Amino acid sequence: MNQTYAYKILRACEFAAFDKDGQFTGSPVDIQDGYIHLSLAGQLQGTLDKHYTDGDMLSLVEVELAACGDDVKFEVSRGGARFPHLYNTLYKSAIRRIWPLKAGANGQYKVPLELEDR
């Protein structure tokens, strides 16, 4: 697939460690599955709705896929859609932008407006 960016959702504790260490080796689910789960912009709301419902503060990081080289594979996942999976450490140098995400009054997170059209 010809994509420029993918996105990783990090819980507050994960982002704090990533910010301090400059690298992220994965959440418990990522480590269990053997790769870091990423989403394309159009897949983000579904990922938020399915996996992030506890009201924690989150950070959304935009990953420049070219900086990850051949370590990103697009594989069939939820609903038959192809999702990007990073088979390596995510380094801070691959991050282009960061958005803080806070759940609304209904407990649901929303994708940043500038990503809704991608």
Residue 111 included in any domain: no
Domain count along the chain = 1
Q: Assess whether pLDDT exceeds 80 at residue 29.
A: yes
Report the distance separating Cα 17 and Cα 41, nearest Å: 24
Question: What is the three-class DSSP state of 22?
Answer: coil
Rounded CA-CA distance 19/12 in Å is 10
In a domain, 64, yes or no: yes
- Does any domain span residue 28? yes
Average pLDDT over residues 15-43: 96
* pTM assigned to the model: 0.92
Residue with tokens 């260490």: 21
The answer to whether position 113 is within a domain reads no
Q: Are 27 and 60 in contact (CB under 8 A)?
A: no
Tell me if 26 is assigned to some domain: yes
pLDDT tens by residue, 55-106: 778 999 999 999 999 999 999 987 888 999 999 999 999 999 999 998 888 8
Report the CATH number that the domain containing residue 10 is assigned in CATH: 3.20.170.20
Tokens of 102: 């806070």
Domain that holds residue 91: 5-105
Residue 116: inside a domain: no
Average pLDDT, the chain: 92
Q: Name beta bridge partners: 85.
A: 37, 73
The answer to whether residue 36 is domain-embedded is yes
Domain membership of residue 118 (yes or no) is: no
- In the structure, what pLDDT confidence band is assigned to residue 117 with cuts at 50, 70 and 90? low
